[in-house]
């Protein structure tokens, strides 16, 4: 906020609703960047340590990042303002939404260890845990929508935004992760078979 100083010692400061909202908007943006970055790094670190794989950690978190952008877009479309109460929205979605990716990847790896092909492992993992993920998503969404019964406008808006975010986290994880796993591990399997065939050919010659 700019100040204007006069020679006689009088200081003029701009006040009112517009400059106050401008300052609040700047503070919200600063807090959002700081909190979101800190939350992203912590969640990513925990997931990488759990899987002991940077690739799987990034895969588990990537649907959440997509869901965050979808949530922001739909908030604007539905007229849900990004108020000061929404500052922790991104971190909350990352902490809650990453579970979907963790469950899918973990179950997929279990099926691969049983000897299933990449495609069959993806089908089995999504089929076996799909109903559970749907139920968990619905109960979480209903819980957040209960906030819309509050008399406080900020609480209602937070409930609507979180319900949207959880839906998009579930949708992004179940829609994106299975084909990505097939492409990633299918390519690795093809490379392994190619190397095996090359070694057989060289040995035979």
Domain range summary for the chain, segments of one domain joined by + = 11-192
54/60 Cα distance (integer angstroms): 10
Cα–Cα distance measured from residue 159 to residue 148, given in angstroms and rounded to the nearest whole number: 6
Give the Cα separation of 54 and 181 in Å (integer).
14
Cβ–Cβ under 8 Å, residues 182 and 64:
no
Tokens linked to 201: 């050919």
Task: Identify how many contiguous H helices and E strands the chain contains and give both numbers.
Answer: 5, 2
pLDDT at 199: 45
Euclidean distance between CA atoms 24 and 95, whole angstroms: 26
Dihedral angle sign, alpha carbons of residues 114, 115, 118, 121 = negative
Note the pTM of the prediction, 2 decimals: 0.75
C-alpha 54/C-alpha 44 separation (Å) is: 9
DSSP state of 115: T
Q: What confidence score (pLDDT) does residue 173 get? A: 93
pLDDT of residue 8: 64
Q: Under 8 Å CB-to-CB from 174, ≥6 apart: which residues? A: 100, 104, 126, 130, 133
Closest alpha carbon to 98 in 124, 69, 68: 68
| pLDDT for position 198 | 46
Q: What is the pLDDT of residue 19?
A: 66
Question: What is the pLDDT at residue 139?
Answer: 95
C-alpha 24/C-alpha 169 separation (Å) is 29
CATH of domain 11-192: 1.20.1640.10
The number of C-alpha atoms within 13 Å of 188 and in the hemisphere containing its C-beta is 7
Which portions of the chain are predicted below pLDDT 70? 1-13, 15-25, 27-28, 84-85, 187-205
């Amino acid at each position: 906020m700019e100040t204007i100083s006069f020679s006689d010692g009088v200081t003029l400061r701009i006040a009112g609703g517009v400059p106050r909202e401008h300052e609040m908007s700047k503070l919200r943006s600063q807090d959002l960047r700081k909190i979101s970055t800190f939350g992203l790094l912590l969640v990513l670190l925990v997931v990488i340590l759990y899987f002991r794989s940077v690739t799987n950690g990034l895969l588990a978190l990537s649907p959440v990042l997509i869901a965050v952008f979808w949530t922001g877009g739909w908030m604007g479309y539905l007229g849900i303002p990004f108020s000061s109460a929404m500052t922790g929205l991104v971190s909350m979605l990352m902490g809650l939404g990453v579970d979907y990716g963790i469950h899918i990847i973990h179950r997929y790896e279990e099926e691969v260890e049983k000897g299933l092909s990449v495609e069959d492992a993806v089908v089995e993992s999504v089929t076996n845990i799909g109903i559970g993920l749907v139920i968990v998503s619905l109960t979480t969404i209903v819980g957040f929508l209960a906030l819309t019964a509050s008399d406080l406008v900020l609480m209602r808006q937070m409930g609507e935004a979180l319900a949207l975010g959880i839906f998009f986290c579930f949708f992004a994880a179940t829609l994106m992760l299975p084909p990505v796993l097939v492409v990633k591990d299918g390519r690795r399997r093809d490379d392994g078979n190619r190397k095996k065939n090359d070694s057989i050919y060289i040995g035979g010659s």
